[in-house]
Structure 1
Amino acid sequence: MREAEHSTPHGETPYSPTSLLRALTADPYGVDTLRQDEHPAAEAAPPDSAAMRMVTVLLALVLGFAVSVSVLGLRDEAASADGPRALLEQEVLGTRAEAEQLEQRQSELEGQIAEAQSAVLEEAGAAERLGDFERAGAAVAMSGPGVVLVLQDSAPLPSSPGGGSASANRVTDGDVQIAVNGLWAAGAEAIAVNGQRVSSTSAIRTAGSAILVDFRPLSPPYRITALGDPHQLRGAVATAETGAYLEEISSRYGILVSWESEDETSVPARSVGTLREASVLTGSGDGAPASSTDDIPAADTPTADTATTEQDAPAGASTAAERGTEEDSP
């Protein structure tokens, strides 16, 4: 067996696994440095000459020129009139113009339908009656004096030592439900939450961290606008169970509750469904159209029992379970 021409102080060949492990674990000052020129298998480095430097510079210039030409070509293609970006912009502008035309056409048709409907109702003498039903169903906008009840999330609570970031107690859908019910019971004529009209068939729910009114998400602060006598509404809410509930969530959980009185405020109309089918009622003996009370919606203003909640407002009810672990009392 041929012996190695060079060996380490430990007796292994310079490139054996054992010699590498020993070299890593041994005293570095006790092992001779293995130089490349001492072993015949060592590869010689390429010569560093002026010709090699010139070749390297030429290759770098050619590569840079090729990259520059490619980038300029792509930029010109993207900026051209028939490029992808220009075509997409033209398509977006065309679609937007078409949508504006359709909206204008829709407004014109709605105006024509309203005029025809008014003419028919005036002829039948039912315009006033329909107006009462529309006001009861929140289908028309209303304005007048009223109050605005504002519910806002609490300020960030200080985090516990070694805990995570600070958290805040948030207003829940139950809080909004109880506030709306309290205003209905106080005699409010119309109510809107952040510009969303609330009626006897509206739904106040939650989805994730958002509160929904008729499936439309709202963001804090929650401004509950109620039409009616401001002093009567505030006094009735403060002396009822709703006032005690609002005071408790304010003092216990830090929910910000504030009132604003308005001499003139307004609530928008609630979007109504599209009429798909209609039929003519058969006339009674005197020629007046017959009607049934089962087909006519109640025109009474919603109260706390008919409003949009699944729960009544308990006196001093605690909502710690609803608020979750992040809403513990500070």
Structure 2
Amino acid sequence: MSLLTNVMDHSLDEGYAEAAARKRAEGAAGMPRTVRARLGLAAGLVLAALVVTVGAAQARIAAPTVAKERQELIDRIQRETAAADKLEGKVDKLRDDVSARQRAALRQDGGGDAADLVGILSGAVAVHGPGVKLVVDDAKEATTGGEGNPRETSGFSDTGRVRDRDMQRVVNGLWESGAEAIAINGQRLTALSAIRAAGDAILVDNRPLVPPYTVLAVGDGQRLSTRFQNSADGLYLHALQENYGIRTGISTESDLRLPAAPSVIVRTAQPSTEKGTS
């Protein structure tokens, strides 16, 4: 009886019971490591896909807003540009009106020709006539710095770039050679004009210019060209061409048109009421 009772109570071998217990323990603790790794990778991929999907959805939602803001900015720039152009046109009309009134007043006093001459020499009026066209450009392989045969001038190392001091000498040389009116890249020069540098840029009356620099000078074309090229400043420009590769070209023109200066403001001078004695 005891044997039958033992068989009934312990029908499963102890080794099977141990294996079953181990499997239950593994099931409770989790899946095998490889299976868990695969499931983790799958979960990561699903999460990444979800993030990309959400990002794409947000981008599609935000795209119209960004496009609208961009278009509004473009429209605003166009409106402001149109307003500035309109104001500039109004200023030009007022300047022409003032000049006409000045000439009319001076003609009544017998000084009409003097007013025209003053307007030309001061740059207050547009002019045209024969003269020379001088083009000055950087060397083909110009750089903003570096070593190798630099030209040192007051702290500047020139490696083939045209400097503000170069343009100053060119303009002064043209004035001394007989130029009656000068403009650089359409910027009319006056007695108050300044040619400066801002980094590697050249400024004329605080307006940046980009190469090539086209200098138009009204005067006796052939005489002006010859005198300039034979002057110290003309020879200086030729030396820049020979030694540093700066490109230059000069030609005589039958008719050059120079615009008026943007503004000629006199802050100190006053007209004299005294008459000279003879």
1:141 aligns with 126
Larger strand proportion of the pair: 2
Amino acid at match of 1:173: D
Amino acid at match of 1:146: G
2:57 aligns with 73
TM-score by length of 2: 0.65
2:239 aligns with 248
The structure-2 alpha-carbon separation of the partners of 1:292 and 1:208, relative to structure 1 and needing over 3 Å to count, comes to: farther
Aligned pair partner of 1:268 in 259, 262, 265:
259
Provide, for residues 201-255 of structure 1, a one-character-per-residue CA deviation record: whole Å limited to 9, x for no partner: 2212223222222222223333221112221112212333333333333334443
Provide, for residues 52-85 of structure 1, a one-character-per-residue CA deviation record: whole Å limited to 9, x for no partner: 64x34652453144224312331232134xx244
Counterpart contact for 2:103–2:116, Cα < 8 Å: no
The structure-2 alpha-carbon separation of the partners of 1:117 and 1:92, relative to structure 1 and needing over 3 Å to count, comes to: same
The structure-2 alpha-carbon separation of the partners of 1:112 and 1:241, relative to structure 1 and needing over 3 Å to count, comes to: closer
The structure-2 alpha-carbon separation of the partners of 1:46 and 1:133, relative to structure 1 and needing over 3 Å to count, comes to: farther
Query: What is the correspondence of 1:27-46 to structure 2 with a 5 Å cutoff?
Result: 46=32
Shift of 1:140: 1.6
1:291 aligns with 273
Q: Distance in 2 between matches of 1:102 and 1:177?
A: 31
2:201 aligns with 210
Shift of 1:91: 4.4
Q: Superposition RMSD on alpha carbons, in Å?
A: 3.8
Q: Distance in 1 between matches of 2:175 and 2:74?
A: 46
1:259 aligns with 250
Aligned pair partner of 1:47 in 26, 29, 33:
33
Amino acid at match of 1:77: I
Amino acid at match of 1:76: R
The structure-2 alpha-carbon separation of the partners of 1:249 and 1:140, relative to structure 1 and needing over 3 Å to count, comes to: same
Provide, for residues 30-60 of structure 1, a one-character-per-residue CA deviation record: whole Å limited to 9, x for no partner: xxxxxxxxxxxxxxx95334x864x346524
Counterpart contact for 1:156–1:166, Cα < 8 Å: no
Amino acid at match of 1:143: H
The structure-2 alpha-carbon separation of the partners of 1:199 and 1:52, relative to structure 1 and needing over 3 Å to count, comes to: closer
1:304 aligns with none
Provide the aligned length of Structure 1 versus Structure 2. Answer: 230
Provide, for residues 2-54 of structure 1, a one-character-per-residue CA deviation record: whole Å limited to 9, x for no partner: xxxxxxxxxxxxxxxxxxxxxxxxxxxxxxxxxxxxxxxxxxx95334x864x
Amino acid at match of 1:151: V
**Which has more radius of gyration?**
2
Matched, 1:87 2:69: yes
The structure-2 alpha-carbon separation of the partners of 1:101 and 1:231, relative to structure 1 and needing over 3 Å to count, comes to: closer
Q: Distance in 2 between matches of 1:219 and 1:113?
A: 28
Counterpart contact for 2:225–2:252, Cα < 8 Å: no
Q: Distance in 2 between matches of 1:71 and 1:254?
A: 55
Q: Distance in 2 between matches of 1:56 and 1:251?
A: 73
Larger helix proportion of the pair: 2
Matched, 1:153 2:138: yes
The structure-2 alpha-carbon separation of the partners of 1:60 and 1:166, relative to structure 1 and needing over 3 Å to count, comes to: farther
Structure 2: runs of 5 or more not aligned = 1-30, 151-158
The structure-2 alpha-carbon separation of the partners of 1:89 and 1:269, relative to structure 1 and needing over 3 Å to count, comes to: same
Q: Distance in 2 between matches of 1:87 and 1:115?
A: 42
SS of match in other structure, 2:249: strand
Calculate percent identity across the aligned residue pairs.
31
1:225 aligns with 216
Name the stretch that deviates more: 169-178 or 117-126: 117-126
SS of match in other structure, 2:215: strand
Q: Distance in 2 between matches of 1:107 and 1:247?
A: 41
Amino acid at match of 1:47: R
Q: Distance in 1 between matches of 2:184 and 2:194?
A: 12
Q: Distance in 2 between matches of 1:180 and 1:67?
A: 64
Q: Distance in 2 between matches of 1:243 and 1:98?
A: 43
Q: Distance in 1 between matches of 2:90 and 2:240?
A: 49
